[in-house]
Amino acid sequence: MTGSVLLIDDDPNVLSALTRQLRKRFSISTAESGSLAVAAAEDSFKNGAPIAVAICDMHMPGMDGIETLKRIQDISPLTVGIMLTGDADQQTAIDALNSGNIFRFYAKPFDSTILGDGIASALRQHKLLQTEHQLAENEERWRLALEAVGDGVWDWDVTSDSSVYSVEWWRMLGRIEPPVDAKITHWWSLIHPDDALLVKEHIDQLVQGRSKTLSCEHRLLHGDGTYHWFLARGVALFRNHDGIAQRAIGTHSDVSERKEMQDRLLRQTDELRVLATTDPLTGLWNRRNFMEKAEAELHRSKRYKRPLSLIMVDIDFFKKVNDTLGHSVGDIVLRRVTDVLGANRRATDTIGRLGGEEFAVLLPETNEASALGVAESLRNAVASESIPLDTGQTTQVTASFGVATTNKPDDTITEILNRADTALYAAKAAGRNRVMGEPK
């Protein structure tokens, strides 16, 4: 496999280990920092032998991996970047992949064989980029080179709709026996119905001259009956005097692996976002997220001069529940109280768990009198609820409520929360299972 491979990592032990594992397959050089890697790329480019593949650790002192690969590709645009990381920074990975600077992304620890195969693919990609760069100079040489790097090639006579597809094009799609008289419709017939309009739009732009190149990701029906993701790229070779393409040529690359990784990273990112913003036991907003929502709602209430109220809720004698019935029962009680509050709140209200047995309810567009009424309704619902336990028995709890409302232009959420908390403690002191507002 020809083409130089530059390994970049601030840990010399990692560089040494990777070099030992990969040097039998590839021509390896190393750099222990982003700045040294950029300098090496400059020297290689000046000497007419640019780096083919740059493999870089994401987190390094000084210049990080993404910036390092960007600078290398600024010098040598055809260099293919591979990123290594030792953590689970999903959003960074997604951003890097979407930016187009990164060809592959591997999380440590990784299998050296898998990494080696990735480098081999990157070298083929590098070869593809070189070939595309030379397209204007030699069309036939371009097409033969594409065959060599393993992507499927298509050649479309727009005027007659006849097409030529390479053997690799059919092989990628799991089609052993290609038709004798191929048409462009053979490609189009395999496109996923949800992607058909998108592909047509991109092809129309290329044919009509609104775009100089074609670049479109879409799904094609594989011979095994499933849809695989492909990236179609192409250019118009000849145009008539009206600028309409007469012939176009291009490639298909299987990007299913990358799309699957992106989807997995997006799912993991969504899961992390949920964990970061919600309470895992009750599913309510956690304290941090609730306070952010409350700050935003307070800003809106001040801007439009509308009332805003807040209710603090505390389950009465909750410690006794945990001590006598056990923490598992305490968890059941917390979840059931959450359900009751959620079922009896208004659609515009927001509930958060601030910690332990303490909850808060944010009431937009609500004055003190209305907030006291909402709190009383919630209190009655909690007190009336019979909570089934795993033992087949039931239990009941009550809760105390403190209500506070915006009452001055420079009110802060912290101040409102403190006033509601004071009212809550007054409800506790007055005997619990009751609603108290701010003292007059």
Res. 176 pLDDT band, cuts 50 70 90: low
More confident residue, 164 or 273: 164
Q: What is the pLDDT of residue 352?
A: 94
Q: What is the pLDDT of residue 418?
A: 94
Q: What is the pLDDT of residue 268?
A: 76
| Predicted confidence (pLDDT) per residue in 5-15, tens digit | 999 999 899 89
Res. 98 pLDDT band, cuts 50 70 90: low
Q: What is the pLDDT of residue 186?
A: 86
Range from 116-120, 126-130, 345-349, 399-403 carrying the lowest mean pLDDT: 126-130
What's the helix, strand, coil split of the chain in %, to 5? 45, 25, 30
More confident residue, 111 or 252: 252
| Neighbouring residues of 438: CB distance < 8 A, sequence distance ≥ 6 | 368, 403, 404, 405, 407, 419, 422, 423
Whether 418 contacts 358, CB under 8 Å: no
Residue 346 in this model has a pLDDT that exceeds 80: yes
- Any idea what DSSP says for residue 57? E
- Any idea what DSSP says for residue 177? S
| Predicted confidence (pLDDT) per residue in 177-205, tens digit | 667 677 888 898 899 999 999 999 999 99
Q: What is the pLDDT of residue 104?
A: 82
| Predicted confidence (pLDDT) per residue in 8-52, tens digit | 999 899 899 889 988 888 999 999 999 999 999 999 988 888 899
Whether 53 contacts 77, CB under 8 Å: no
Reported residue count of the chain is 440
Mean pLDDT of 209-213: 91
Q: Report phi then psi at 417, rounded to 5.
A: -60, -40
Closest CA to 352 of 405, 257, 299, 281: 281
What is the C-alpha separation between 44 and 27, in angstroms, rounded? 13
% of the chain exceeding 70 in pLDDT: 91
More confident residue, 390 or 176: 390
What is the C-alpha separation between 285 and 274, in angstroms, rounded? 9
Specify the residue for token string 């808060």: 360
| Predicted confidence (pLDDT) per residue in 390-437, tens digit | 888 899 999 999 999 998 889 999 999 999 999 999 999 999 999 999
Q: What is the pLDDT of residue 238?
A: 84
Mean pLDDT of 243-248: 91
Q: Domains of the chain, with CATH numbers?
A: 4-133 (3.40.50.2300), 139-259 (3.30.450.20), 278-436 (3.30.70.270)
pTM, whole model, 2 decimals? 0.47
Range from 66-75, 131-140, 174-183 carrying the lowest mean pLDDT: 131-140
Residue 126 in this model has a pLDDT that exceeds 90: no
Cα 259–Cα 264–Cα 268 angle in degrees, nearest 5: 150
Mean pLDDT of 374-382: 96
Amino acid at 191: I
User: Quick one: which H or E segment has residue 254?
Assistant: strand 245-254
Mean pLDDT of 327-339: 93
Maximum mean pLDDT: which of 59-73, 81-95, 256-270, 347-361: 347-361
Axis crossing angle, helix 413-429 with helix 287-303, rounded to the nearest 10: 110
Q: What is the pLDDT of residue 136?
A: 46
Residue 269 in this model has a pLDDT that exceeds 80: no
Q: Which two tokens stand for residue 90?
A: 């999903």
Q: Mean pLDDT, the chain, as a whole number?
A: 87
Mean pLDDT of 237-243: 87
Residue 299 in this model has a pLDDT that exceeds 90: yes
What is the C-alpha separation between 148 and 214, in angstroms, rounded? 21
Range from 56-60, 108-112, 294-298, 347-351 carrying the lowest mean pLDDT: 108-112
Specify the residue for token string 């040294």: 36
What is the C-alpha separation between 438 and 76, in angstroms, rounded? 68
Q: Would strands 152-157 and 245-254 be described as parallel, antiparallel, or unpaired?
A: antiparallel
Q: What is the pLDDT of residue 83?
A: 86
Mean pLDDT of 113-135: 82
Residue 366 in this model has a pLDDT that exceeds 60: yes
Whether 14 contacts 32, CB under 8 Å: no
| Predicted confidence (pLDDT) per residue in 404-413, tens digit | 999 888 999 9
